[in-house]
Structure 1
Amino acid sequence: MVYKLLLGAALCLPLAACEQPALTWADAAPERTANPSPLAHPPFVPYDSTLRANTPYADFLETQDRLREAGAASLLFARVGAMAEATQTLTSAATIPSTGTGQATDAPLGDGAAPMDSLRCARSLRIVTAGGSDPKQGHGQVAAWWTRATGGRVFLMAAWRDSVPGGPMRAMWRGPIPVDTLDQGPRDAQASERGAYGCARPAPSLAVDSINGYVHVAYALTGPEGPGIFYAHQMTPHALFEPPVAVLYGARLGEVRVASDGDLVAVTYEDPNGRGRGRIGLAVSRTAGHIFEERQTVSVGSTESRDPYVAVQGRAVVVGWSEFGAPTAEPTFLVRRARIH
Structure 2
Amino acid sequence: MAPLTFALVVAACEKPAIRWVDAEAVATNLPSPLVYPPYVATDSTLDASSPYADFLLTQDLWREAGGSNLLEPTLTSMPEARDSVANHATLPPVQTASAPLTSLGNGNAPADSLRCARSIRVVSAGARGHVAVWWSRGAAGRVRLAAAWRDSVVAPAGDSTAGGVAGASVAVQGSAWRGPIMIDSLDQGPGDAQAADRGAYGCARPAPSVAIDKKYGYVHVAYALTGPEGPGVFYAHQMDPRSQFEPPVAIIYGERIGDARVAVDADVVAVAYEDPNSGLGRRKIGLAVSRTSGHLFEDRLTASGGISDARDPHVLVRGRAVVVGWSETAAGADPIFRLRRARVER
Residues 55-74 of structure 1: pairs in structure 2 closer than 5 A? 55-74=50-69
Deviation, 1:36, is 0.4
1:319 aligns with 2:324: yes
Structure 1: runs of 5+ lacking an equivalent? 1-14
How far, CA to CA, are the matches of 2:228 and 2:342 in structure 1?
33
Contact 1:320 1:334 in 2 (8 A): yes
Match of 2:242 in 1: 238
Give distance in 2, aligned partners of 1:215 and 1:73. Answer: 19
* Equivalent AA in structure 2 for residue 141 of structure 1: H
Aligned length: 313
Instruction: Write the letter of the residue equivalent to 2:340.
Output: R
Q: What is the deviation of 1:34?
A: 1.1
2:224 aligned partner, one-letter code: A
SS at match of 1:330: strand
Structure-to-structure mapping, 1:1-341, within 5 angstroms: 19-131=14-126, 139-162=128-151, 171-186=175-190, 190-191=191-192, 196-276=200-280, 277-325=282-330, 327-341=331-345
Distance of 2:212 and 2:86 partners within structure 1? 20
- What is the CA RMSD across the aligned residues, in angstroms? 1.8
The 1-side partners of 2:242 and 2:193 are apart by: 38
**Post-superposition offset of 1:93:** 2.4
Offset of residue 121 of structure 1: 0.2
Deviating runs (4+, > 2 A) in structure 1?
Answer: 15-18, 190-196
Q: Is the 8 A contact 1:283 1:296 kept in 2?
A: yes
> How far off its partner does 1:193 sit?
6.5
Residues of 2 paired with 1:194 and 1:329: CA distance?
Answer: 29
- 1:218–1:230 contact (8 Å) kept in structure 2: yes
User: Which residue identity does 1:291 align to in structure 2?
Assistant: L
Report deviation, 1:324: 1.1
The one-letter amino acid of 1:183's match is: D
Can you list the C-alpha shifts for 1:50-84, whole angstroms capped at 9, x where unaligned?
11101000000000000000001111122112111
Conserved in 1, the CA contact under 8 Å of 2:84 and 2:320? yes
C-alpha separation in 1, matches of 2:321 and 2:332: 35
SS in 1 for 2:71: helix
> Residue 308 of structure 1 aligns to which amino acid in structure 2?
P
* 1:93-135 deviation per Cα after TM superposition (whole angstroms, max 9, x unaligned): 212221121211110011110000000000000000114xxx6
**CA offset at residue 40 of structure 1?**
0.8
Structure 2: which amino acid aligns with 1:203? A
- What code does the residue aligned with 1:97 have? P
Show CA shifts across 1:165-207 (max 9, x none).
Answer: xxxx971100000000000124xxx545656410000000000
Note the alpha carbon deviations across 1:1-46, whole angstroms, 9 max, x for none: xxxxxxxxxxxxxx89962111111101111111100011001001
SS state of the match for residue 70, structure 2? helix
1:146 partner SS: strand
Deviation readout 1:219-250 (Å, 9 max, x if unpaired): 00001111000000000112100000010000
Structure 2 spans left out of the alignment, 5+ residues: 1-9, 154-172
TM-score normalised to structure 2 length? 0.87
Q: How far, CA to CA, are the matches of 1:160 and 1:288 in structure 2?
A: 20
* Residue of structure 2 in register with 1:12 after alignment: none
Distance 2:327 2:223 in 1: 19
